[in-house]
């Protein structure tokens, strides 16, 4: 397990009193580092390895810790207003991603152009406080 994974696991194990594990700014920096790996597509919460699904629990825990560490804020995108804990992604044109009005993706999701005309999104979506799924949506 990497040092980052170990730090996330320590934070998760001490989530009821994070300050006893590390200072809030340090905890936020560690969690943000893990979320950046997801955002850049360098890590996955779940992946198929040799035909088997491997779930990286520490990345699931990082996502859940992010919601604990971040406060709600107002995010404006054109005429839309959101009240959320995660900022929206930006610079879709540089990523060669088409986003229609009303569409959005949160920081931590990974988007990649796949082949001719296919766009793949890896989105992290929290369904309950206890589970996180990573979903691949493919559009023509």
Which domains are present in the chain? 3-139 (1.10.166.10)
The pLDDT of residue 113 is 57
The pLDDT of residue 8 is 98
The tokens for 69 are: 């560490």
Mean pLDDT, range 25-43, rounded to an integer? 93
Q: How far apart are CA 110 and CA 28, in angstroms?
A: 20
The pLDDT of residue 77 is 81
Contact between residue 125 and residue 135 where contact means Cβ atoms under 8 Å apart = yes
Looking at per-residue confidence, does 98 or 86 come out higher? 86
pTM (two decimals): 0.73
State pLDDT tens for residues 106-119.
Answer: 888 777 655 444 44
Mean pLDDT, range 95-105, rounded to an integer? 76
What dihedral do alpha carbons 139, 47, 13, 84 form, nearest 10°? -10
Residue 125's pLDDT band (cuts 50, 70, 90): very low
Whether residue 133 has pLDDT greater than 70? no
Closest to 41 in 3D by CA, of 121, 134, 110, 112: 110
């Amino acid at each position: 397990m990497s040092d980052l994974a170990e730090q996330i696991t320590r934070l998760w194990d001490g989530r009821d009193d994070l300050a006893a594990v590390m200072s809030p700014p340090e905890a936020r920096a560690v969690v943000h580092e893990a979320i950046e790996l997801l955002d850049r597509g360098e890590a996955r919460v779940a992946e198929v390895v040799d035909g088997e699904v491997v779930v990286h629990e520490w990345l699931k825990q990082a996502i859940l810790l992010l919601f604990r560490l971040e406060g709600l804020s107002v995010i404006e995108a054109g005429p839309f207003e959101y009240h959320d804990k995660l900022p929206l992604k930006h610079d879709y044109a540089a990523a060669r991603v088409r986003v229609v009005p009303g569409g959005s993706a949160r920081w931590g999701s990974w988007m990649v152009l796949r082949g001719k005309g296919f766009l793949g999104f890896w989105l992290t979506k929290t369904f309950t406080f206890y589970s996180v799924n990573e979903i691949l949506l493919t559009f023509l």
